[in-house]
């Protein structure tokens, strides 16, 4: 992407993912040392997962590759003093295209099939918030889906805005904000994927009957 290339926020496809109002709360990734060391959870090997869960893992792997490329593009962009190159442009566009075309379908599988039943099972098994029995890890996962979509829309729009600003100082401030939100997306989604695969999917296998697993497909 060179400085003449603009993202068009008016036609922003990412806004289709956001069904709730932006609250103004900044996207904050969890503390990796604690978050990546869950207690009392035994991850289930891929080979022992139900095909529905295996498909979600496969889609996670594809998204992780896109996230890594997106992160590299963002870091190279900052090192290049916010000047776009064709390689940086490619990494950014790949992320937004994937986010628009693939992520909604993936999230729909989780939110329409897996999450409702697992949420019910977690409440029944007592694995819920001690102060609010209606709150489980599923609420967190759904909230992150929304917040990441909102943050992606912010990055997209800031890229477009910064490309059109006439003075370099304002442009740099806008691009810095886009960069920070972009890195937050990467960190949050990597942790999100880890939690799903190592915690939620294990809980589903533990709590679902064979018939319930079959109904997911």
Please write the tens of the pLDDT for every residue from 36-68. Answer: 555 556 789 999 999 999 999 999 999 999 999
pLDDT value of residue 34: 55
Q: Furthest-apart CA pair in the chain: how many Å? A: 62
Please write the tens of the pLDDT for every residue from 96-143. Answer: 999 999 999 999 999 999 999 999 999 999 988 888 989 999 999 999
* Calpha distance 70→92 (Å, rounded): 6
Residue 194 has pLDDT above 70, yes or no: yes
Are the C-beta atoms of residues 109 and 145 closer than 8 Å to each other?
Answer: no
Domain ranges within the chain, ordered by starting residue: 49-216
For residues 44 and 30, which has the higher predicted lDDT (pLDDT)? 44
Are the C-beta atoms of residues 6 and 160 closer than 8 Å to each other?
Answer: yes
The DSSP string of 146-215 is HHHHHHHHHHHHHHHHHHH-SSHHHHHHHHHHHHHHHHHHHHHHHHHHHHIIIIIHHHHHHHS-HHHHHH
Which fold is adopted by the domain 49-216?
1.20.120
Q: Please state the φ and ψ torsions of residue 203, each to the nearest 5 degrees.
A: -65, -40
Residue 11 has pLDDT above 90, yes or no: no
Please write the tens of the pLDDT for every residue from 148-190. Answer: 999 999 999 999 999 999 999 999 999 999 999 999 999 999 9
């Amino acid at each position: 992407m060179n400085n003449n290339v603009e993202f068009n926020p008016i036609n922003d496809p990412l806004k289709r993912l956001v069904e709730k109002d932006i609250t103004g709360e900044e996207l904050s990734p969890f503390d990796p040392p604690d978050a990546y060391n869950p207690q009392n959870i035994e991850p289930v090997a891929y080979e022992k997962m139900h095909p529905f869960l295996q498909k979600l893992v496969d889609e996670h792997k594809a998204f992780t590759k896109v996230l890594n490329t997106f992160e590299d593009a963002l870091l190279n962009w900052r090192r290049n003093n916010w000047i776009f190159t064709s390689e940086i442009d490619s990494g950014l566009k790949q992320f937004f295209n994937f986010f628009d075309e693939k992520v909604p379908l993936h999230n729909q599988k989780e939110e329409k099939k897996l999450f409702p039943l697992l949420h019910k099972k977690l409440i029944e098994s007592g694995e819920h918030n001690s102060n609010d029995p209606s709150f489980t890890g599923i609420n967190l996962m759904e909230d992150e889906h929304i917040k990441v979509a909102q943050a992606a829309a912010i990055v997209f729009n800031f890229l477009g805005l910064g490309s059109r600003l006439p003075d370099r100082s304002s442009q740099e401030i806008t691009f810095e904000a886009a960069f920070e939100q972009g890195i937050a997306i990467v960190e949050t989604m990597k942790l999100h994927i880890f939690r799903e695969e190592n915690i939620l999917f294990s809980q589903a296998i533990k709590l679902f009957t064979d018939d319930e697993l079959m109904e997911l497909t």
